[in-house]
Structures are given as C-alpha cells and as structure tokens.
Amino acid sequence: MHSTLFYIPDEVYGVPVFGVGWLLAIWGVFSVGLLAWLVWRQGLNADTLSYLLFIVPVAAIIVWLLPILAEEGKGLPIRAYGTMMLVAVLSGTGLAAWRAKRQGIDPDLIVSLAFWMFVPGIIGARAFYVIEYWWEDYWPAFERGGLGTLIAAVLRVDKGGLVVYGSLIGGILGLLLFVRKHRLPLFRICDLIAPSLMLGLALGRIGCFFNGCCFAGPCDHALALHFPAGSPPYHSQVVRGELYGFRLLGDEVDPPVIGRVDSDSAAEQAGLRPNDRLTAIDGRPVTNKLEAVWALNHPEPGREKLLLQVEGRGTLSIPMHHRSLAIHPVQLYSSINALLLCLLLLAYTPFSRRDGEVFALMITVYPVARFLLETIRKDEISVFGTGISISQNVSLGLLVLAGALWVYLLKKPVCSKQ
C-alpha cells in the first residue's frame, strides 16, 4: 500500500497554488487555448460550448475543493488512487479513439464523449457510495456537524469512496445524452467503448490496491498480503474485532466499552472481559469509541505490546499488530479480471454480428465475475435483507438486463461488418 505519491506545496514564490492562484491561472490559460482551438476547428457551436460543462466544474474544484483537501504544512497530497483514475481515463479514451479511427469514426468525437461521461461517472460513483454508507458514515457526520460537515464528507473523494456500478450508471447517462445530441448509433458507440471501460477498470483497481480500499477478509492463502496500520483493511479488522480478538460496543460517541472477547484470543488470555471500560490505550486517554478506535488504528511505532487501561482493573497487555492480518489482494484479482474481459471484448468484436453484442457480452460476463469477487470482499455490507452486498444485488439486476438485451439483439437482422 502506498496511498500518497507526493505533495504539491501550498505556495510557490509567495502565491497560493490552490484557490485563486497558480493552478487556476494555468487552468484558465489551458481552457482559453482549448476553446480557441475548437472555435478555429469547428466554429462556436453547441459542441464547442459543451466543453464548458467540464471546464467550469474543474475551475470550481480548484477554487473551493482543493484548498479543503490540502494538508496544513504539507500541501495537496497526490494520491495513487486519483493518479490511477486519471491514467485509467486517459488509457480508456485513447483505446476508444484509436478503435474509432479504424472504424471510420472521428476520434475527436470520442474525446468529446469522454468529457461527457467522466463528470457524470464521478458523480454517480460517489453518489452510489454515499447512498450505500449513508447510515454508517454520512448521517453521523451530519449529526456531528450539520450540513457543512456532511458536504465536506461527501466531497472527500481523495482517499477513495467511488463505486464502479455508480460510475457505470452515471457514465451511461452521459453517453445517452451525447448520443442523442449528436444523433449517433447508440449500440455501435456502446460496442466501441465497452473494451475501454474494462481497461479503465483494470487500471483503476490498481489505484484501489495502493489505497487499500475494496479489500477482502482474512485468509491463509499463499498470495495473501498484510496492509499497514491506518489502512482500510487494518481499520476494518480493528473495528470488527479480528485483529486483537475484542470488539467495542455502541456508536462513535458512546463510552469505549468492550462488547465481545473472542475465545482463546490474545485479549482473553490477557484477562480482558465483556463490559470492561477502557480509559486509556498506550497511555492515550480515551473517552469514547471514536477515540479508542483511532488509538487502536494508529499504534506507536516500535511498541511490541498494546497497553489497555481498564477502569477499576489496571493495565492489560496484548501483543501489538503493526500490520493487518493476511488478506487476499482482491483488488489485483479485480484488475486482472477486468483486463481479461477487455481482451475478450476486443477478440470478440470481429465476430459480432449485430451492433450491441460486444456491450451485451460485457454486461453479461462482468456481473458474474463481480458477484463472485464480492464473496471474498469485506468492505461492503449486506442490504435490503438479501444477505448479499449492494454490488451483488446490482450484478443480479444487470444480468437480467443483459438477458433482455440479448433477446432484443438476436431478433434484429445480422449487419455487415466493414
């Protein structure tokens, strides 16, 4: 795991980089140049003006969001997750533009389409995540600090929190608007971009691996990896009681009271019991569950024992874990799966007999693979009383949609391929 690649400083030569500063000026020059080139190439038409849908939101992000994301004394962290997302978008767009040229479609049209799909895709991916974890993360944020705290929590996408299916839904909405606007053949465009979506996903999942998100549960597999303290898998194992053999009761604001102690665990051997109340962890006073989880999630470097001060019973000592228990690198499995599906779609394209078949194949195979991969993931909870995650529910729905699409396509006459 290597979530942060480097930092961009807050100021250069005394001028702010973010907000109203260097970055906004650079973006302004680039945007003016881009619009001037488009006007020279195609005139001041609706397509040229459509780029404002991308230019203006980016400017808003530079002015208002980036100053919030910057860390005091360090600057703006450049995350591996975001970097791989950018690489994924550029690679997917490049592949689609190259294939479009070979099929007699203007590559510039595909670049424009990428703009139309990118923003709705990000919004959809974040909205899906917020909805999924509303009661767990975002409603508590609203209760703690009101609407401002909630908005800040929703906008914190720098450390992850984007769902593939949400991105797919948002991106397809952008695609539908673009296709309707330019009167393009929908299924042919869907076939064109399907391999690019999988290539982008393959690269994006590497970002998930660097970030530690989208993780699996503990296992003893030969390919298993250990993630460092502070990572999402480590935090999850602390909260679930898997790392030290005990779990805390209640919500974040509740007192740090032990709710469960696993049999034959290090915690039980140290004498920890249910209903014990913690007053300090490694010498750090804790008054609620949030403080206790934070202390457990950030052990002091070099310390070999976790010291738990229990109210009325003194201090108990448990062997310290500076890394998570071994887990499957499910992010890499997902990346390999998406890359193989990309190659499958490319290989199938010459043999497709109707427009739409390549896209239909994608939404047939990917949900099956995603459903199976979800069985070893531990970052998503079951929903709707189904006992399976929201992504598994969406996978089943997408399979039904794929079946209906195949029935529709197979009734259409075979088209000739140029």
Q: Tell me whether strands 314-319 and 305-310 are parallel, antiparallel or unpaired.
A: antiparallel
Q: What is the pLDDT of residues 212-239, one digit of tens each?
A: 888 998 888 888 999 999 898 999 999 8
CATH superfamily of 232-319: PDZ domain (2.30.42.10)
Separation between Cα atoms, residue 337 and residue 370, nearest integer Å: 9
Residues of the chain with CATH 2.30.42.10: 232-319
How would DSSP label each residue in 291-312?
Answer: HHHHHHHSPPTT--EEEEEETT
pTM strictly above 0.85: no
Q: Average pLDDT for residues 263-277, to the nearest whole number? A: 93
Convert the pLDDT of each residue in 104-117 to its tens digit: 888 988 988 988 88
Mean pLDDT, residues 345-350 taken together: 96
Query: What is the bridge-based pairing of β-strands 11-12 and 15-16?
Result: antiparallel
Per residue in 85-102, pLDDT tens? 889 999 999 999 999 999
Q: What is the DSSP string of 7-36?
A: EE-SEETTEESSSSSHHHHHHHHHHHHHHH
